[in-house]
Structure 1
Amino acid sequence: MPFCWLMTDRRLGSAMPRIVAAMPPRSGVIVRPYAMEADGRAALIRSIRRAGRAKRHVLLIADARAAGFDGRHRGGAVTRLPQPCRNGIESMPVHDERQAARALRTKVSLCLISPVWATRSHPGAVTLGVRGFARLAARLRKDTHVIALGGMTARSHRTLRRHGANGWAAIDGWQVDPA
């Protein structure tokens, strides 16, 4: 399972394929079509997939059908899909205890616990901080990979490793700290 992940977002725009290409080999990319501009979305997804395959990244998509990807992300409109992904990796966002329980019931491969710290994608949102992250991670880490999300960079992730983080994910963090 990759250690570092990119969450696609409309704020990254056409730079997304370049960011994917600059990530370390075998990283993870979660393609979120609902967080992309509608105009040119299909072509952008193809470019991201091409750049990701060239670096041997794990590619997940937030779509009921994960054809051409390594699995599915249960974010946006696909959060409440009834069946688990039949083949491949399945990820899910976890913001609280209720979502942690759902992730355990669904038996997802990967949980993105967020927001750990303040983030531009959710301005003003209540953050978990280290304690909140550690509480959710302790509940999940025996059964799934735990990824920290929200204000994350490779540097800030080091703080969370001893609290159960198997890795980190970011949107803006890849623009400033690609290692």
Structure 2
Amino acid sequence: MPLLSLLLPAMWLVTDERTDALLDAALARLPRGSGIIFRHYHLPPAERSARLEHIRVLARRFGHLLVLAGTERDARRAGVDGTYGAPARLMHRAFNQHHKFRSCRAKDNSYVTRLTPDSDDATLHLPSPPGRGRGRGSVAAGSASRPAGYTPLPTSPLKGGGAGDAVKRHRAPGRRAGLLRLATAHSPQEMSAALRAGADAILLSPVFATRSHPGAAVLGAVRWRLLAARSPVPVIALGGVDPHRARTCGLTRWAAIDGLS
């Protein structure tokens, strides 16, 4: 696993219209070295840019890593640490020069993503969704025994600067300016798509029921951990997670919208 992934924050705050009034105070309360995902889709472009710049200044002040929901071009112009979005939106040309993926269906109807032999994990074999195949599948050597979020993460102040500085000091091969790529996923298929897109980490959701999507199907803590344990990149839990649930369910990396505000 690239060192860039080892430096990912353990705790992430996802911005949203519902919590915007509390955002400044929330950034001040977060542990130094936390992650911020700036969305604010509700704002017009000019207002969104101004709000992003304000949050960027606060993130630097408190040593947080700031990721923008948008393109890599937008992220570079804004001076943030990375991009966030669905796999299809992530630019992956540079990544694929160093890591080649091949995805297919296994006999048990699960999804397999194979990496080149020089990778630490040779195969990502994700269990099929309920009702699709009965095989138990297999995982790469060295990854099956890892619990969800197996990489130790810094939760105390980082030496020599904040989380963004640490990430930029450890750039992935072929990655200009060291931008971090966070991909969203809701299923094994989307996780494989995120890997093919060159994601450094995956936000897998929803773990639990959320106020924004009442009645929607959820993964549950057990299935989330099974999927996360089989990923060669860090997986961040999203959806109905708060500090109490993160502790009781053993979610090493997690993100929240209103659970941290």
Distance 2:247 2:218 in 1: 18
Q: Aligned residue for 1:61?
A: 68
Q: Answer whether contact 1:17 1:47 (CA < 8 A) is retained.
A: no
Q: Answer whether contact 1:4 1:167 (CA < 8 A) is retained.
A: yes
Q: Give deviations 1:69-94, integer Å, cap 9, x for gaps.
A: 1111124xxx4136236432110111
Q: Answer whether contact 1:145 1:166 (CA < 8 A) is retained.
A: no
Larger deviation, residues 44-53 vs 81-90:
81-90
1:66-81 matches, within 5 Å, as: 66-67=75-76, 68-75=79-86, 79-81=87-89
Q: 1:113 aligns with which of 204, 220, 227?
A: 204
Q: Aligned residue for 1:171?
A: 257
Q: Aligned residue for 1:128?
A: 219
Q: Aligned residue for 2:238?
A: 149
Q: Answer whether contact 1:100 1:139 (CA < 8 A) is retained.
A: no
Larger deviation, residues 15-24 vs 107-116:
15-24
Q: Answer whether contact 2:246 2:252 (CA < 8 A) is retained.
A: no
> Residues 82, 172 of structure 1: CA spacing in aligned structure 2 closer, same or farther, 3 A cutoff?
closer
Number of corresponding residues: 166
Give me the identity figure in percent. 38
Q: Aligned residue for 2:37?
A: 30
Distance 1:82 1:24 in 2: 28
Q: Give deviations 1:107-161, integer Å, cap 9, x for gaps.
A: 3111111110011122221111012212321221xx2111111111122112332
Distance 2:89 2:220 in 1: 29
Structure 1's consecutive aligned runs of 4 or more residues displaced over 4 angstroms after TM superposition are none
RMSD between superposed Cα atoms in Å? 1.8
Q: CA deviation at 1:23?
A: 1.0
> Residues 51, 131 of structure 1: CA spacing in aligned structure 2 closer, same or farther, 3 A cutoff?
same
Larger deviation, residues 43-52 vs 22-31:
43-52
Q: Aligned residue for 1:9?
A: 16
Distance 2:90 2:58 in 1: 31
Q: TM-score, normalised by structure 2?
A: 0.59
Structure 1, unmatched stretches of 5+, are none
User: What SS is found at the alignment partner of 1:174?
Assistant: coil
Structure 2, unmatched stretches of 5+, are 1-7, 93-174
Give the structure with higher Rg (CA): 2
Counterpart amino acid of residue 52 in structure 1: A
Confirm whether residue 49 of structure 1 aligns to residue 140 of structure 2: no
Q: TM-score, normalised by structure 1?
A: 0.84
Distance 1:160 1:99 in 2: 23
Q: Aligned residue for 1:90?
A: 181
User: What SS is found at the alignment partner of 2:230?
Assistant: helix
User: What SS is found at the alignment partner of 1:103?
Assistant: helix
Q: 1:158 aligns with which of 247, 251, 256?
A: 247
Point out which structure has higher relative CO (alpha carbons under 8 A, 6+ apart). 2
